[in-house]
Amino acid sequence: MILVVVEHDAGAIATTSLEALTFARALDAEVHGVAFGDGGEAALETAGEFGVRMGTHISIEGGYAPAAWAQVIVDLVASSSPSAVVAAATDRGQELLAHVGARSSAPFVANCVAAEQGADGWSVTRHRWGGSLLEDALVRAPFAVLSVALAVVAPDAAGEPAAVTIDELTPSASADDLRARATRVDAPGGGARSLTDARLVVGGGRGVGSAEGFASIDALADALGGVVGVSRAVTSAGWRSHAQQIGQTGERIAPELYIACGISGASQHMVGCRGAKKLLVINSDPDAPILAQADYAVIGDLHQVVPAITAEFERRRG
Ligand SMILES: Cc1cc2nc3c(=O)[nH]c(=O)nc-3n(C[C@H](O)[C@H](O)[C@H](O)COP(=O)(O)OP(=O)(O)OC[C@H]3O[C@@H](n4cnc5c(N)ncnc54)[C@H](O)[C@@H]3O)c2cc1C
């Protein structure tokens, strides 16, 4: 049996957790979901479509507290003896699993793209260097803690959705385990949609030139129903918030189309968008490295090209 941590936003299951559930189902047909907080039952019911038959909904005082949440998982491991604990390699997933690994003295393998349990332990393939290298490793342990690299496994429903039997757990946490906890969550304002789940992303880089220059990037994203992402040059310049950054130290995206405007294609940026199905590049430099990975490209000044695409799209839409 595999224990999977299911992340959700008020009951709406995260796409990254659907990826983790799909990954776990390939390891073992028996997948047990664990969800914390309000809406956790709804998330576990959705997880039923991805192969979960048993779930544990945990109501614990206060918000996210990594040590307290990890201790609950460690206790579940002790009582249910899974062969692995799996979560998506989100910031929260990585933090939680690091605590679980430390507390259960189990190996934690981060950013897995494949895993298989054999007689000698767990054979894993995982991302290194932000996904630019793949490492094969044998983890000599009967029980492992695995995070699943983002935007690598396509979420795949398990066929017939089934009802999930959900246990309710209301553990108490020690004061020590509550020393670090989230006391407030600031949701991105302005009805911002998630970059991770977006089907279309319009990215802006240093080539946009200024915070004001993003008006045309925003307009294109609005016209196409997409979400705006940025390179680190943009967040470092203070033009946009870090929540919008794509890359090694930002978000991983997997849209149908990524339109990268004024972005050169540094490896740290490209690891964040390698899940994109198609890449359209708009860049004034015909030798920009990003062009090597483009499906389509327009060589030109984005300040002319981007508004022209928006205008043409709106003209055709009528
Ligand atoms: C440890 C580490 C982690 C990092 N993490 C990330 C990360 O998560 N995400 C990330 O993005 N970067 C990250 N970086 C930074 C990364 O190395 C690059 O510096 C950054 O991605 C460059 O951003 P850029 O492509 O917007 O800017 P530049 O490299 O300066 O490229 C600007 C591009 O705009 C084009 N351009 C200029 N003017 C125009 C115009 N008018 N019209 C069209 N095109 C134009 C240029 O030809 C150029 O190709 C990280 C770096 C380190 C060391």
| Domain parsing of the chain, residue ranges | 2-178, 200-317
The pLDDT value recorded for residue 190 is 46
237 lines ligand 1 (CB under 6 A): no
Mean local confidence (pLDDT), 212-224:
97
Closest CA to 113 of 86, 147, 144, 155: 147
- Read off the pLDDT of each residue in 206-227 and give the average, rounded to a whole number: 97
How far apart are the C-alpha atoms of 166 and 256, rounded to whole Å?
Answer: 35
Helices 302-317, 214-224: inter-axial angle, 10-degree rounding: 30
Summary mean pLDDT of the chain? 94
Q: How confident is the model at residue 23 (pLDDT cuts 50, 70, 90)?
A: very high
Cβ of 232 closer than 6 Å to ligand 1, yes or no, is yes
Q: Which CATH class is domain 2-178?
A: alpha beta
Residue matched to tokens 């540094």:
266
- 294's torsion region: left (phi>0), alpha (psi -120 to 50) or beta? beta
Strands 84-88 and 144-148, sheet pairing: parallel
CA angle 140, 85, 18 (to 5 degrees): 130
Does the beta carbon of 289 lie inside 6 Å of ligand 1?
Answer: no
User: Is the distance from the beta carbon of residue 245 to the nearest atom of ligand 1 less than 6 Å?
Assistant: yes
Domain 200-317 in CATH 3.40.50.1220: yes
> Using alpha carbons only, how large is the chain's radius of gyration in Å?
21
| Alpha carbon of 19 to ligand 1 centroid (Å) | 29
Ligand 1 within 6 A of CB of 285:
yes
pTM, whole model, 2 decimals?
Answer: 0.79
Q: How far apart are CA 71 and CA 68, in angstroms?
A: 5
Instruction: Say if ligand 1 is within 6 A of residue 233 CB.
Output: yes
For residue 285, give the ligand 1 atom closest to its CA: 47
2-178 shares its CATH topology with 200-317: yes
Measured from the CB, is residue 271 less than 6 Å from ligand 1?
A: no
Is the beta carbon of 307 within 6 A of some atom in ligand 1?
A: no
| pLDDT for position 192 | 55
Rounded to whole angstroms, how far apart are CA atoms 79 and 135? Answer: 32
- Could you read off the pLDDT of 52-68 as tens digits, one per residue? 999 999 999 888 999 99
| Residue 159: pLDDT over 90 | no
Q: Considering only 86-90, 154-158, 193-197, 278-282, which range has the smallest mean pLDDT?
A: 193-197
255 CA to centre of ligand 1 in angstroms: 20
Closest protein CA for atom 48 of ligand 1: 264
Look up residue 85 and give its two tokens: 């604990």
Q: How many whole angstroms separate alpha carbon 109 and alpha carbon 94? A: 10
